[in-house]
Structure 1
Amino acid sequence: MSPALSLLPALLLAAAAAAAEPECPTKCGDVDIPFPFGIGTRCSRSKGFEISCVNNGTAAVPVLRSAGGARTIPVASLSVAPRPEAKVMLPVAYKCYGPAGRRVRASDGRVDLRSSSVFRISDSRNMFVVLGCNTGAWMNSGANGGGRYNYQYYMGCFTYCAGPESPTDGRCASVGCCHVDIPPGLTDNAVYFEQWPHNGMEHSPCDIAFLVDRDGYEFRAADLRMDVRRSSMPVWLDWAIRDDDGALTCAAAKGRAGYACVSANSECVDSINGPGYFCRCKEGFKGNPYKYEGGCTSEEPISLVTSTPLKEEQVMLRCSYYTSPI
């Protein structure tokens, strides 16, 4: 074996070691953290894309923070393709009563992502659900609108039960459970409950309401007795590039410093859930359009198989092409 070929295993191992120790971490626990997101400001595109990786006592968990940092929001997944979205876990809102019908504890489940945030609550993938017997609830959302109404949006529904056996698994049509669609553009929510009599309703001790993935929740009568203080629901967030310089559309952003679609094979798309834009790979390419190197690459597989034997110098040339430089 020639000296050049004898060095090949060492070169491949060195390249693999370099690739295994990136400058910025790409995972937190079991969750991938793709750019423009990053753990810490130095590794993310901007503060809006910063993810914290915290230990919850048993495992590492990625979280983002609500407005003012008042609440940490666990992140279940982040993606740039095929659509820009994040799945998070949000708390339920509740108002619970004792046997005599007096309120014993309550939470409005408030979450505020800020109007300047990169995130919007997905109207296409979530719904608002109310659980309980003799229960009415609505969600206040959007910035203060002034005038007759304090908020831009009010949405809610009402439930009733003739008795403990009325609610039926899989049915959410106002008997123990109801649901409504939500509008686009939401960055926040807080739940308010109607004050109705609850004495003698041990089968439904709490009024409960929450946002939830419309494909990830099916009503069960047992949910009327869920542990509300420990419960959270999966909710989808849309995200987009929303820079402070006013470049909130593709037409305005292209050509400016900080334009996010940096891969040679990427294209820009205007957001349909709030202002801003996002990037995607052109047809026939896949990968991360927000990265210069290794961004959008061809979907056609690259073959190393040849019909004729390779010369020694050809072997070294191909190996150098498919490994990282040392």
Structure 2
Amino acid sequence: MGLRKMFLELVTCVAVILSGMGAAAVAFQIAKPNCEDRCGDVEIPYPFGTTKGCYLNEDFFMRCNDSSGHPPELIAGINLTVTKISMDGELDILMYIAHQCYENGVLGYNNNPWLNYPAFTVSNTKNKFFAIGCDTYAYLNAFRNNERFSIGCMSICRSLQNVENGSCTGIGCCQVEIPKGLKNFTLDARSYRNHTNVSTFNPCGFAFVTRQEEFDFASDYLISLREKETYPMVLDWAIGDEKCETAQTKPDYVCGGNSSCENPPDGVAGYRCRCEEGYDGNPYLPHGCQDINECEADPKPCNITTSKCNNTDGNFTCICLDGYEGDGKIINGTGCRLKAGANLQSRINIIIPLAISIGLLGLFVGGSSIYCGLKRRKLIKLKEKFFEENGGLLLQQKLSINYSTSMETAKIFSVEELENATNNYDERRILGQGSYGTVYRGDLPDNKVVAIKKSKICDKSQIEQFINEVIVLTQINHRNVVKMLGCCLETEVPLLVYEFITNGTLSSHIHDKTLSSLLSWEKRLKIASETAGALAYLHSSTSVPIIHRDVKPANILLDDSYSAKVADFGTSILVPLDQIELSTLVKGTLGYLDPEYFYSSQLTEKSDVYSFGVVMAELLTGKKALCFDRPENDRSLAMFFNSAIKEDRLHQILDNQIVNDGNINVIDEVAKIAKWCLSVKGDDRPTMKEVAMELEGLRIMGKHPWVKADLFTEETEYLLGAPTHSFNIDINNASSSMITTVGLESMKNQVVKPLNDGR
């Protein structure tokens, strides 16, 4: 029986959903044929109407201006806006407020609105009469049982001290219940002393009738009601003056078919019509009450699993299915129950579909679980494969050794951690893009902000070297080198995680007009000195020397205090201690590339020195390292810069924003260091340690002007006495970004074939 009950509930649920989807609301006619049933947003049911022949009599005529979209107006001495007409015999209107206002004791504005409409009665159950003021008494003058009748109240207050918001007991506000049967009323607000003693906070008296739930007194109404014209109120309406007993015998009786007559509440003359049970519509039309199809109603009147609903005129029946008995009705009925001794077949008819449904559901759930499990297992296997191919086991082994020696180690992040940190690598989190990959901003669960580099390619044959680099880079602890925090090896291409630097790249600060104006000479010298110190540290102070191989402003980040942070070690190489130079494929960025390295493929730490020299030239001139807008011989900033110094026109190419009388000597010295770094031959260049010492000395001289500049200059000239050479790089960029011509000064016109670096 438990399974049968579950099946019945399931079928019931499905049937209810389907019936709800198919059922459509029935729209019953409310106006006479060919008559408008709406004015603006207000429905106009018969006996009301807006054109001749569409209303019962003049009492129910409403003016409607369709072009304005204004609600209908009731013509009753003055035009009153109608907001709702109810078939239950209520008419919602906006009734005017009575005002009496004084200025310096002299009567100003005064009105006494009235409603002369004997067909309708003021609703005593929905409305109240209110008077507002501190020197006010007000009346509602009306007719009741064809006799003059008045109600009123008095509202007095000397100040606002005793006036209470929400209280209407005669202090600033008074109210009176509406008696039954009031018609044809006039509102009258008056004053005892012309508001002379209260004019500062209450220059007017007010009187109005409104829905009692619409009004809640507040002290500011003593002034603000001057700006309000109307309040909503309710009128009771009915047909004629006679009750049902008499009206039903008259030829003008209007209740249509399938409707009944009912008498309105005491005090309201006439009669009203109502559709009989099982019918709905407008009972004032001849055929306005139409049958309701209860079988399409919601909720359903019959239990659809054990019975069938049959609609009848004004009613319905529930027919129990075979094997069941009862009236089938859910509400006020016995429903359908199994007949005593029902045959086994009826139970089988229930059990078989139930068993099939449960079986199909089980297959679906089981199949889905198996599919998801296989997919999850495949994903795990794929991550394990990538982890092994990317050297994860080797990294774990080395990290365990480092851990045992208490060295700082890299963290291995999971792919899910970095996906969550970057919101699945949302494009809005991209910090920068280059030829080797994309850098994203990431937010770790501990609220730490990191930079995550997603490379485009990975050389699987260099995995062991890559793992060694990760180990070494995570051990670098220099304030001017971006800290590597760890990596993720569960993706096809490893992901690297660095500390996040807030102020962008040096390149943007040099070449953006707005940012460059903030980059003073002191800041530029500080950045150059700190960058040189970081490169010197990488070359000579780490456990394994590191050649950066791509030194350029785009790889130098700045924090909020303009401290330099050397970044992006994607092309860096670890140099064995017993080797001075390495033979490698040429990698780097055009414009910063060491010509000797480019020509010979022999990489030394002096290659970084040359690139740093170009960075210094950019800091001094504000010009780009490679610019095709300059003449052919000056496209390379290195050549352009060296030529300017050689021809004694350095001051003509300096960035105007950094030069002043107080720093020109220091700038000249820095320019000499830059020229030294840009020597064509590596042996003629200084080491990064020498450059760092020279720049730091110049910074000290800038901070301490009492240092003898001539002594410092003499020392610098001695150190810079080595011969310098220039070189030319001619680039044909018509179809590719490869360098097509390289020459030293002695081989200026010699053509060299491009190097194939395997990319």
Q: What TM-score do the two structures reach when normalised by structure 1?
A: 0.75
Q: 2:196 aligns with which of 190, 199, 206?
A: 199
Query: Given the superposition, is the C-alpha separation of residues 182 and 165 from structure 1 closer, same or farther in structure 2, using an over 3 Å criterion?
Result: same
- Structure 1 counterpart SS, 2:128: strand
Q: What does the per-residue CA deviation read over 1:236-285, in whole Å, with 9 as the maximum and x for residues that have no partner?
A: 00000016xxxx12111214322111122x11112333321011122343
Instruction: Spell out structure 1 runs of 4+ moving beyond 6 A.
Output: none
Q: 2:157 aligns with which of 161, 164, 180?
A: 161
Q: Distance in 1 between matches of 2:72 and 2:295?
A: 33
Equivalence for 2:638: none
Q: Distance in 2 between matches of 1:301 and 1:34?
A: 27
Give the AA of the match of 2:148: Q
Equivalence for 1:25: 36
Confirm whether residue 86 of structure 1 aligns to residue 52 of structure 2: no
1:120 shift after superposition: 1.1
Confirm whether residue 257 of structure 1 aligns to residue 251 of structure 2: yes
Q: What does the per-residue CA deviation read over 1:176-214, in whole Å, with 9 as the maximum and x for residues that have no partner?
A: 111001112222222334441111422111000001111
Confirm whether residue 109 of structure 1 aligns to residue 113 of structure 2: yes
1:165 shift after superposition: 3.7
Contact kept in structure 1, 2:131 and 2:189, CA below 8 Å: no
Give the AA of the match of 1:75: V
Q: 2:78 aligns with which of 68, 71, 77?
A: 71
Q: Distance in 2 between matches of 1:47 and 1:53?
A: 15
Q: What does the per-residue CA deviation read over 1:49-78, in whole Å, with 9 as the maximum and x for residues that have no partner?
A: 1111026x8532201111xxx411110000
Contact kept in structure 2, 1:92 and 1:228, CA below 8 Å: no
Equivalenced residues, count: 267
1:296 shift after superposition: 4.6
* Unpaired runs of at least 5, structure 2: 1-26, 28-32, 298-303, 306-759
Larger radius of gyration: 2
Which structure's relative contact order is higher, taking Cα pairs within 8 Å and 6+ residues apart?
1
Give the AA of the match of 2:129: F
- Structure 2 counterpart SS, 1:95: strand
Contact kept in structure 2, 1:139 and 1:154, CA below 8 Å: yes
Q: 2:45 aligns with which of 11, 34, 43?
A: 34
- Structure 2 counterpart SS, 1:41: coil
Q: Distance in 1 between matches of 2:100 and 2:63?
A: 31
1:93 shift after superposition: 0.4
Q: Distance in 2 between matches of 1:192 and 1:49?
A: 27
1:128 shift after superposition: 0.4
Q: Distance in 2 between matches of 1:223 and 1:124?
A: 25
Contact kept in structure 2, 1:140 and 1:190, CA below 8 Å: yes
Q: What does the per-residue CA deviation read over 1:107-142, in whole Å, with 9 as the maximum and x for residues that have no partner?
A: 1122211x3x2x111111111000000211111111
Comparing 294-303 and 227-236, the one that deviates more = 294-303
Q: Whose strand proportion is higher, 1 or 2? A: 1
Equivalence for 1:139: 140
1:43 shift after superposition: 0.8
Give the AA of the match of 2:42: V
Q: Distance in 2 between matches of 1:164 and 1:279?
A: 51
- Structure 1 counterpart SS, 2:53: helix
* Percent identity for Structure 1 against Structure 2: 30
- Structure 2 counterpart SS, 1:155: strand
Q: What does the per-residue CA deviation read over 1:261-312, in whole Å, with 9 as the maximum and x for residues that have no partner?
A: 1122x11112333321011122343322112334253372438xx99xxxxx
1:168 shift after superposition: 2.1
Equivalence for 1:316: none
Q: Whose helix proportion is higher, 1 or 2? A: 2
Q: Distance in 2 between matches of 1:26 and 1:263?
A: 20
Contact kept in structure 2, 1:37 and 1:45, CA below 8 Å: yes
Give the AA of the match of 2:57: S
Q: Distance in 1 between matches of 2:288 and 2:263?
A: 24
* Unpaired runs of at least 5, structure 1: 1-15, 17-21, 146-150, 308-326
Contact kept in structure 1, 2:138 and 2:154, CA below 8 Å: yes
Q: Distance in 1 between matches of 2:50 and 2:295?
A: 32
Confirm whether residue 62 of structure 1 aligns to residue 72 of structure 2: yes
Query: Given the superposition, is the C-alpha separation of residues 273 and 287 from structure 1 closer, same or farther in structure 2, using an over 3 Å criterion?
Result: farther
Q: Distance in 2 between matches of 1:299 and 1:228?
A: 53
Confirm whether residue 286 of structure 1 aligns to residue 313 of structure 2: no
Equivalence for 2:58: 47
Equivalence for 1:238: 236
Q: Distance in 1 between matches of 2:175 and 2:131?
A: 6
Equivalence for 2:124: 123
Query: Given the superposition, is the C-alpha separation of residues 105 and 240 from structure 1 closer, same or farther in structure 2, using an over 3 Å criterion?
Result: same
Comparing 232-241 and 161-170, the one that deviates more = 161-170
Query: Given the superposition, is the C-alpha separation of residues 263 and 216 from structure 1 closer, same or farther in structure 2, using an over 3 Å criterion?
Result: farther
Q: Distance in 2 between matches of 1:32 and 1:301?
A: 28
Query: Given the superposition, is the C-alpha separation of residues 259 and 192 from structure 1 closer, same or farther in structure 2, using an over 3 Å criterion?
Result: same
Contact kept in structure 2, 1:289 and 1:296, CA below 8 Å: no
1:172 shift after superposition: 1.0
CA RMSD of aligned residues (A): 2.7
Q: What does the per-residue CA deviation read over 1:138-185, in whole Å, with 9 as the maximum and x for residues that have no partner?
A: 11111797xxxxx62111111122313432221111111110011122
Q: 2:182 aligns with which of 171, 182, 186?
A: 186
